[in-house]
Structure 1
Amino acid sequence: MTTTAIAPRPRLRGFTAESVFVGRSLTQSLRDGESLSMSILLPVMLMLLFTFVFGGAIEPGGAYVDYVVPGIILLCAGFGAATTATYVARDMSSGIIDRFRTMPLRSGAVLTGHVVASLARNLVATAVVIGVGLLVGFRPHADLVAWIGAAGLIALYILAITYLFASIGLAAGSPEAASGYGFIILFVPYLSSAFVPVETMPEWLQWVADNQPITPIIETLRGLLMDTDLGTEPWWAIGWCVGIVAISAVWGAWLFGRKSRRH
């Protein structure tokens, strides 16, 4: 009797595997319309609140909307990326990773799918927030080059914060825990120059605001959009984003490999 050996299935080449999981993650986002809507509505509501309720007290001249929109843009990216932690934690706890391991896929394709899908949906959400900002009086002075620079910085920040949230989702024991941990990250922009100048804060809080990643990113974005002096802020902004991506990617790969072996 002749035994026929079954050849192992070849792994998907190129970006085929990643594209499959990008499509899967985008489909998840569209099906989870409530999370997608809230990630846009909450920043818009905050922008309207700070502009029309607090804006007159903070900036009596009425130009506060120009100050606050860059911070709202990053806040929107944070809200949108936070759902990635929940999606990743759900994948890890639902047992679907076991099925993925039997398929000819690279192990990193799952995370890449989540990250790229988050980048796509958050860029759309950011465009919506900017559009609403223009409707309520936001008047940027950026030229084409500055807009391209601002878009690049926003994309880099979304990439960084999404990788961080994906790693948090891997580290969390459940989707609920991932959501809770993500809330801590979402609180960081409130301790930056997003809503008020750093110099108006108490001295101890100024140190916190000056030595965290959000402030230089916001100041760079604000400088690009409003055509003000950038100083050294862009270097700090890029450095923070690249550092977060690098650390989160390594941490996420290690967590994914460890948890995949357990299942």
Structure 2
Amino acid sequence: MSAAYAVSDCLTMTRRELAHWARQPVQVVVGLVFPVMMLLMFGYLVGGGRAVDGDYVDFLVPGMLTLTMVFGLEGTMTAVTQDLDKGVIDRFRAMPMTDGAVLVGRAAADMLQSTVGLLLMIGVGYAIGWRAEGGFGAFLGAVGLLLLLRFAMLWIGIFLALVAGRAELVQAVQILVWPVGFLSNAFAAPESMPGWLGAFVEWNPMSATATAVRELFANPGGEPGWVGAAVLWPVLLVVVFFPLAVRRFGRLGR
């Protein structure tokens, strides 16, 4: 019965998070449209000439899909810190509710929104001429790797939000997220960069996912053997930040 109550609590908190979509449609739409604007901007305004063998759009789209999974961290942090500021989480903690149901509900809603955003980006990619040439099984594998990265970033965002405690501190994290996202191979091949910078870019966990996804999509910039790294990095991040987030949540108010 305790397991049934835990599942029920988690589903209740997930429905609460999804109900916010209906009350804040502009925020949801902006979150979905922004990565599309980035894709179109880099694809048509500043794309090309980046030491990429083949069509630049085929190189760019997998990178943008990966970048979208990383940039979702900011929305996660904002939602959690807003609940902290308003005292909502304190009220939930005072109720007879399974510990961690709030975090699971937040995670489930974020993963659903990320899946919708990913499908939208894939559709836009097809509309501008990008194609996944690796077959249906490889396509599903690439989508799985992208969502795995999002899941890892999600728990990083939850932990940082619980540590920050205030919505205004999210801006400080946003300043760091952008360099991490751009210091990857999302937009340009490491070969086109200075040696020291290219080496740093290749060690970026985001670059591992982007490279593996390009390989599965059979797009330019993919390299065999990167799928393992694209799995290992997110799993390692989850192993570190999931327990940290749960522990921090349990200590709130102490």
Could you state the TM-score of these two structures normalised by the residue count of structure 2?
0.91
Deviation at 1:182, TM superposition (A): 3.7
- Are residues 100 and 176 of structure 1, via their aligned partners in 2, closer, same or farther at CA, if it must alter by over 3 Å? same
Point out the more displaced range, 184-193 or 57-66: 57-66
Q: Which residue of 1 aligns with 2:103?
A: 111
SS state at 2:72 partner: helix
Give SS of 2:185's match. Answer: coil
Structure 1 residues 89 and 46: CA distance shift in structure 2, 3 A: same
d(CA) in 2 for partners of 1:226, 1:134:
14
| Distance across 1 between alignment mates of 2:68 and 2:103 | 21
CA gap of 1:202–1:124, structure 2 versus 1, over 3 A, is same
- The one-letter code of the counterpart of 1:180 is A
Match of 2:246 in 1: 253
Which stretch shows the higher mean deviation, 92-101 or 159-168?
Answer: 92-101
1:130 to partner: Cα distance: 0.8
- From the superposition, tell whether residues 59 and 137 of structure 1 become closer, same or farther in structure 2 (CA, over 3 Å): farther
RMSD across aligned positions (CA): 2.1
Is the contact between residue 6 and residue 101 of structure 2 (CA under 8 Å) also seen in structure 1? no
Instruction: Answer whether contact 2:72 2:114 (CA < 8 A) is retained.
Output: yes
Q: What residue in structure 2 maps to residue 211 of structure 1?
A: 203
1:181 and 2:173 are equivalent in the alignment: yes
Residue 242 in structure 1 maps to residue 235 in structure 2: yes
- Give the CA deviation at 1:183: 4.0
- What percentage of residue pairs aligned between the two structures are identical? 31
Displaced runs of 4 or more, over 3 A: 56-62, 227-230
Change (3 A) 1:218 1:11: closer
Pairing partner for 1:98 from 83, 90, 104: 90
Counterparts of 1:19 and 1:174 in 2: how far apart (Å)?
26
Change (3 A) 1:41 1:87: same
Letter of the 2:250 partner, please give it: G
Q: Do the aligned partners of residues 105 and 60 (structure 1) sit closer, same or farther apart at CA in structure 2, a change above 3 Å counting?
A: closer
Where does residue 49 of structure 1 map in the other structure? 41
| Cα distance, 1:108 vs structure 2 | 0.6
Bigger radius of gyration: 1
- 1:154 maps to 146
Matches of 2:124 and 2:146 in 1, distance apart? 17
Instruction: Give the match for residue 120 of structure 1.
Output: 112
**Residues 109-143 of structure 1, C-alpha deviations (whole Å, 9 max, x = no match):** 11111111100011001100110111111022021
Unaligned runs of 5+ in 2: none
Distance (whole Å) between structure 2 residues aligned to residue 239 and residue 41 of structure 1: 30
Q: How far, CA to CA, are the matches of 1:201 and 1:40 in structure 2?
A: 30
Q: Is structure 2 residue 121 aligned with structure 1 residue 129? A: yes
C-alpha offsets along residues 209-251 of structure 1, whole Å, 9 cap, x if unaligned? 0112011110001111126764321111111000111111111
Which whole-Å CA distance do the structure 2 matches of 1:12 and 1:205 have between them?
51
Is the 1:142–1:226 contact (alpha carbons within 8 Å) kept by the matching residues of 2? yes
Q: Is the contact between residue 163 and residue 245 of structure 1 (CA under 8 Å) also seen in structure 2?
A: yes
Relative to structure 1, the CA distance from residue 104 to residue 166 in structure 2 (aligned partners, 3 Å threshold; closer, same or farther) is same
TM-superposed CA distance for 1:16, in Å, is 0.5
The 1:30–1:163 alpha-carbon spacing in structure 2 relative to 1, beyond 3 Å, is farther
Aligned-partner SS, 1:194 = coil
Q: Distance in 1 between matches of 2:31 and 2:70?
A: 8
- The secondary structure found in structure 2 opposite 1:107 is coil
Contact kept, 8 Å, 1:165 with 1:182, in 2: the verdict is no
